[in-house]
Structure 1
């Protein structure tokens, strides 16, 4: 009888052990925040991520998307990621750069010529290595990069020479690489939330904006500013972040599923912009505004002066420029 009871107990423990290892993980509804409007490609990618993650998890997991800064600005969302109040975010690397300055090398003026060049640089070892620093330095996990279209300059007055911009108020994303770029040029960098810019162009709060073609179309800025300089002066990376606290709570299988799914959608974003940027610019042309291509010579001396300010990042910037120039 004792032997039978012993066999029963051993069998029971073994069965419970098997169940513990095979029981389904807890269903998760991840919350993902962005600052861009609902129709933006970043939000489309987030919704695609929801669909793919649901399929891979047999309907157990999903993603609730909060666009247009519903959860706060980027700094606030980073704080939420750090505390675990927010699970994930697709953010520009502006606030990341404010916290980890080496990311500013990705905004070096005229680092790349177009989105295809930007995608090449973001996939490189130096750029990917920056992501590995985020858990320790920010308390978040960087899965991979996305991107937006290249940065351009839009004004409500004609510009024939860089001197025409001197003293003008330029709406920028509020972070140091762009402030330095415009300060060097004698232009007044003016941080401002995107939803406020449309009216600000009409009432004189700003005279111009640092912007990309997708946002020009989404916000119909061509109704307020009728001169676009196609400068391609900077790429504008995005990064897919996961809260470090949330990441630590996931099983290995959940981490792999989440990483693979997010990486796929960020790759989709990069490819979409590479394909769609020329179409966006042509659509802007059809509005009838002036569209004037200019090159680096329009901004004499700005690269050397910017890199002097960012001297600590110069070795990394040089590595990234070498990647961009390689075949």
Structure 2
């Protein structure tokens, strides 16, 4: 009974157990890597990471073994990113906004209404990777590319049909000045709240609405406290595929190429995977009582946030050139 109690209450022991299990399976490999994820096993990002790990294992004759750690078992995204920099974690698909303290240039991906559709979001990966690879390496990361985690949409306790409906309402935002300023400009009352506290904050009325992605709407059961899912398409949430630079440098050139190619292949397949999973997630929430609202006229939302976008382009290092690169991606 004591062991059971410790495992259910001590994250450190859970992490140690997970590491012990993975190390046993990876003993035969020449190079072992822990890949940290903040999502559960049934999430699209996990499925993509598993495909990536399987390709690498197969193409290196089991000499590079990548073990996946879901549900933030190695720590939250910020902790995982720091672990990747230091080499205690070898890989991760980290939300771009988490990395801005090390690579402020990636804040460009959080500019509202910058990315105009799925094709552009997918096409930007290659040119942005080329533009930022050196900056990532200076901070201890090897950059393998970007992929869309999902589109940030509004999730609310009340119906939203236009920007007028959010005036003065309390909105949970990520702990980022850009997000605070953008939603303040749109007329909301932005309140930074850590992600694990969203559900309870909605339940207790601390916030009235927030933004997140379709799969999280289902897996975190947000629809229970936010029955209105509102398609504003304001930000494409991008995942950043990063590897510890110190671990990367120890790999032979041919293994580096295998990992690079495998990442590119999976990233190319991800949009179709995610689109299918997003629709399935929304269908399930609708079956449980959620209401989907399409915002057909996004003009007022874009106009309200435009000054903030212009302001932050000036603040972000190489902001104008990066915006141009993204807008011209095809």
Name the TM-score, length of structure 2 as normaliser: 0.81
Alpha carbons of 1:168 and 1:183: their partners in 2 closer, same or farther (altered >3 Å)?
same
Aligned residue for 1:318? Answer: 324
Aligned residue for 1:209? Answer: 210
Q: Deviations over 1:32-63 (max 9, x none)?
A: 10112222111112222222222122223221
Structure 1 counterpart of 2:120, from 99, 117, 121: 117
How far apart in 2 are the matches of 1:96 and 1:145? 13
Q: Does 1:46 align with 2:52?
A: no
Aligned residue for 1:15? Answer: none
Aligned residue for 1:290? Answer: 291
Instruction: Please report how far the alpha carbon of residue 126 of structure 1 lies from its aligned counterpart in structure 2 after TM superposition.
Output: 4.3
Q: Is the 8 A contact 1:213 1:281 kept in 2?
A: yes
Instruction: Please report how far the alpha carbon of residue 86 of structure 1 lies from its aligned counterpart in structure 2 after TM superposition.
Output: 0.7
Alpha carbons of 1:27 and 1:319: their partners in 2 closer, same or farther (altered >3 Å)?
closer
Aligned residue for 1:20? Answer: none
How far apart in 2 are the matches of 1:255 and 1:285? 44
How far apart in 2 are the matches of 1:49 and 1:320? 25
Q: Is the 8 A contact 1:172 1:189 kept in 2?
A: yes
How far apart in 2 are the matches of 1:61 and 1:74? 23
Aligned residue for 1:129? Answer: 131
Aligned residue for 2:99? Answer: 96
Which segment is superposed worse, 165-174 or 149-158?
165-174
Q: Is the 8 A contact 2:218 2:282 kept in 1?
A: no
Structural mapping, 1:27-42, within 5 Å: 27-42=30-45
Q: Does 1:139 align with 2:140?
A: yes
Q: Is the 8 A contact 1:111 1:321 kept in 2?
A: yes
How far apart in 2 are the matches of 1:112 and 1:60? 39
RMSD value over aligned CA atoms?
2.4
Q: Is the 8 A contact 1:180 1:306 kept in 2?
A: no
Aligned residues: 298
Which segment is superposed worse, 236-245 or 64-73?
64-73
Aligned residue for 2:309? Answer: 306
Alpha carbons of 1:290 and 1:102: their partners in 2 closer, same or farther (altered >3 Å)?
same
How far apart in 1 are the matches of 2:255 and 2:136? 20
Q: Is the 8 A contact 2:145 2:240 kept in 1?
A: yes
Alpha carbons of 1:190 and 1:127: their partners in 2 closer, same or farther (altered >3 Å)?
farther
How far apart in 2 are the matches of 1:276 and 1:27? 35
Q: Is the 8 A contact 2:186 2:304 kept in 1?
A: no
Q: Is the 8 A contact 1:140 1:242 kept in 2?
A: yes
Q: Does 1:166 align with 2:167?
A: yes
| Structure 2 residue ranges without an equivalent (≥5) | 1-27
Query: Greater Rg, structure 1 or structure 2?
Result: 1
Aligned residue for 2:221? Answer: 220
| Structure 1 residue ranges without an equivalent (≥5) | 1-24
How far apart in 2 are the matches of 1:214 and 1:234? 15
Instruction: Please report how far the alpha carbon of residue 193 of structure 1 lies from its aligned counterpart in structure 2 after TM superposition.
Output: 4.0
Q: Does 1:184 align with 2:190?
A: no
How far apart in 1 are the matches of 2:211 and 2:162? 17
Counterpart of 2:233 in 1: which secondary structure? Answer: coil
Q: Is the 8 A contact 1:115 1:149 kept in 2?
A: no
